[in-house]
Amino acid sequence: MFTKTLDNKRYHTLNYFYQTKFHQKVSKISLNGNFSCPNYQNNQGCIFCSLSGSGDFAGDKHKPLVTQFKEIKDKMAKKWPNSLYIGYFQANTNTYAPLPILKEKYESILNLPNVVGLSIATRSDAISDEVLDYLEELNKKTFLTIELGLQSMHAKTLKLINRGHDLANFENMVKKLQERSIKVVVHIINGLPNETKEDMLKTVKYLNSLNIDGIKIHMLHILKNTKLAKMYEEKPFHLLTKEEYIDIVCEQLTYLNENIVIHRITGDPKKEDLIAPTWLLKKFCVLNDIDKEMKKRNYYQGLKVS
């Protein structure tokens, strides 16, 4: 039986990690700090990114951060009344601003009751040395996680999706963060155009070699008003079926060290924005089917790590 779980999963769950570290329920509050993105400004952005900057379920950017936090927290408190909280700066690139602005935004959340840390989503090409120094200080005061989008390790794919940075830039930033003992969580996307199953497995094997702390696995989905949607309309390409996606995720998990925390294992699009694949709307069915397939194959996280 895989031990790094509280609910019979065969992978290292985020809930288990938080419970082990904080000894009680921890909830992430998704916030929109009204940041921009250097890739959007300089390079027209990634082809899959929505107008919300991948923050579809974050707070309302027109409201103060503290108001966003309290509104979401009050909803969560109905289910988990005694929770601790992590402020999750989710939408767009959350280190892409002058340092005084970053300090004001981050610390406004850290000063709230029962907030034990921050999770900051950003890009590997958008953290200056000055900001790195500040993050190092912050990491000594609170539980800090930096989330970096990679999506794929393959140069051909990074160019196709208009990522705006290469693998060397990403790897360099991971090392800089690790040198400062800052936890790193990496986002990847399965099913990107022209990638094979082996391509996706190589991305996971590569990340395992970097000793990252956590991973978020997404399924490529096509949202309205994106460049990807236009590409799909003009020349439809294959999107993974639910069965193909489950097969790939199960294999990927076996190549990840058991200490890497699985923060996410499927996509979570808004129904009104989604073009395809529609099977993603049944999130819990996908999660349950992954569990069933892992059990059927007698797989568990780290099984194939040499």
- Structure confidence by residue, pLDDT tens digits, 156-177: 999 988 888 999 999 999 999 9
> Which long-range contacts link 204-208 to residues 24+ away (Cβ below 8 Å)?
204/252, 204/255, 204/256, 205/255, 206/153, 207/150, 207/153, 207/256, 208/255, 208/256, 208/257, 208/260, 208/305
What's the confidence (pLDDT) of residue 306? Answer: 83
Q: What is the mean pLDDT of residues 39-65?
A: 73
Question: Which residue in 75, 177, 5, 17 sits closest to 169, CA to CA?
Answer: 177
Q: What is the mean pLDDT of residues 231-256?
A: 96
Helix, strand, coil in percent for the chain, rounding step 5:
40, 15, 40
Domains of the chain with CATH codes: 14-297 (3.80.30.30)
Q: How far is CA 219 from each of CA 193, 249, 266, rounded to the nearest angstrom?
A: 12, 10, 6
List Cβ neighbours of 159 (8 Å cut-off, separation of 6 or more).
none
- Structure confidence by residue, pLDDT tens digits, 176-228: 999 999 999 999 999 999 999 999 999 999 999 999 999 999 999 999 999 99
